[in-house]
Amino acid sequence: MGKVFLFAALALSAYGIVSCTIKDREREKARIEQKEATARNDELNFSRIKNKLVESNADITWLKKLGFIRENKEKFIQLYTNQIQDAFLNNEKTLIFGDIEDYSNLNESTYELEVSTVSLELEMMQFIEPNLHFKFECPKEKVDKLISDFNSSYKKRVGFGINVAVLARITKIEDYAYKTSEGDMTKGKQIIGTCIEVFLAPQTFGSLRKNLKSL
């Protein structure tokens, strides 16, 4: 009888080990497949952005003017208002990169889309002062489709917004005050305009930086 129990225990132990190994392999396979799918989606989305950039002749020099793309290794960039005005107010169309902070109803057909540069600063390994914040009037159907495309193509990253590229007409720049996550009030610059198109940008850390430097 003892041998029977011993055999049964060994069999259960072996089954448990094999079962865990199979589950680990399945999880690893799913992780690799998700990573590959994300890379494909990033490549496809940036290809669309580049095509629209060529088609629209939009300006992207603000990325270099404001220090998001730099040759040196300086991490902290202090900006002045005239630099920000020069970067955004002299262009018919500008292609903005950032992450969706919020969006809300303006009317039945339009959202107010708020985009921050927090994810972009982390991505480009630069820290900009004053904080830049974008606010666009954007057609609801374009934003709704973008959110739907994101949910069907990507896995949400906790603590990160949705990276986007917004083709916009910038109309004004103004001071604004906001509360930090620590509850302190601080000042920034708000760039206001009208959204023409909005696209999903690469979501993988490092992918957006690599692609922006290739433009």
Under the banding of pLDDT at 50, 70 and 90, the label for residue 93 is very high
pLDDT tens for 120-165 read 888 888 888 888 999 999 999 999 999 999 998 887 765 678 999 9
Query: Any idea where the domains of the chain sit in the sequence?
Result: 2-213
pLDDT (mean) for 174-202: 89
Between CA 124 and CA 213 the distance in angstroms is: 10
Q: With 0-12 CB in 10 A as exposed, 13-18 as middle and 19+ as buried, what is 195?
A: buried
**DSSP one-letter string for the chain:** -HHHHHHHHHHHHHHHHHHHHHHHHHHHHHHHHHHHHHHHHHHHHHHHHHHHHHHHT-B-THHHHTTSS-SS---EEE--HHHHHHHHTT-S-EEEEEEEEEEEESSSSEEEEEEESHHHHHHHT-EEESEEEEEEEEEHHHHHHHHHHHHHH-PPPTT---EEEEEEEEEEEEEEEEE-TTS-EEEEEEEEEEEEEEEEPP-STTHHHHHHHT-
Contact 118, 173 (CB under 8 A): no
pLDDT tens for 156-173 read 765 678 999 999 999 999
Between CA 153 and CA 71 the distance in angstroms is: 33
Under the banding of pLDDT at 50, 70 and 90, the label for residue 48 is very high
Nearest to 114 by CA among 132, 91, 90, 141: 132
Contact 123, 210 (CB under 8 A): no
What pTM did the predictor assign?
Answer: 0.82
Calculate the alpha carbon distances from 204 to 41, 43, 82, 183, 214 in Å.
Answer: 10, 10, 33, 29, 16
Determine how β-strand 185-200 pairs with β-strand 94-105: unpaired
